[in-house]
Amino acid sequence: MRKTTLLAAAAGATLIAGAAAAMIPPYVAASVANPARPAADTARDAARKPGEVLSFAGVKPGQQVLELIPGGGYFTRLLSGAVGPSGHVTEAVPQLAAQDVRQTSNGVAADPHFSNVSEMPMSAEALAGVHGVDLVWTSQNYHDLHLTRLKLDVVGLDKEIYAALKPGGVFFIEDHAAKPGTGTSTTDAEHRIDEDFVKREVESVGFKLVGESDILRNPADDHSLLVFDPAIRGHTDQFLLKFRKPK
């Protein structure tokens, strides 16, 4: 019964978001419709609403994008198409793996259909060499930065991201919502993170929150389940945050 209720609520949410499709720029729509995208990616589009998400983030042709923890490359391919041949997407691949953190290359940079994609290691040394980026993007992975076993200085990493962005650049975060007030206490067990905690942490290094979206909200998700639980996987309550580096 619970699984049926969760999936029904998620399906209803897609109808509410339908009106937003008219606001999707043509270059974003073309990227979503790209026939070079694998079937495994397009099968997830109904739940992930890539056109609406990229539009909210403000992705534009010609942008230089740094994608943190790209996973299998779902958004890498979409970003590649949206920024076009005059833009570039750099995947920052983690050096340590976790349950939903892929340590190895996803192969997108080697695919001739996405020739404006390259890779770099996600390390302090590599990030220190990145400057003038228009957009830093991370999807469903900011919580992973707080996994206990990774022992990362996340505030220090946020400072590196701030330095990598040009003035006016955007740091976009999409992630699985945890119960309000839980901070990072559910990160290891549920792979979720408290939205307000993320806001405070990112703003602590100088970013300004300039946008929030309910595109991927699911009120039927009570934030109690591991995001990989079949009863909720693919339909978690997710927040979208857009931070800007002041000019």
pLDDT at 17: 40
Q: Give the pLDDT confidence of 20-71 residue by residue, as tens digits.
A: 444 899 999 999 999 999 999 999 999 999 999 999 999 999 999 999 999 9
pLDDT at 20: 46
Q: What CA–CA distance (Å, rounded) separates 236 from 119?
A: 29
Helix (H, G, I), strand (E, B) or coil at 67: strand
Domain boundaries, the chain: 2-244
In this prediction, residues 87-111 reach a mean pLDDT of 81
Q: What is the pTM of this model?
A: 0.89
pLDDT band at 123 (very low <50, low <70, confident <90, very high): confident
**Would you tell me which CATH number, out of the four given (2.60.40.10, 3.40.50.150, 3.40.30.10, 3.40.50.2300), belongs to the domain 2-244?**
3.40.50.150
Sign of the alpha-carbon dihedral angle for 123, 44, 221, 202: positive
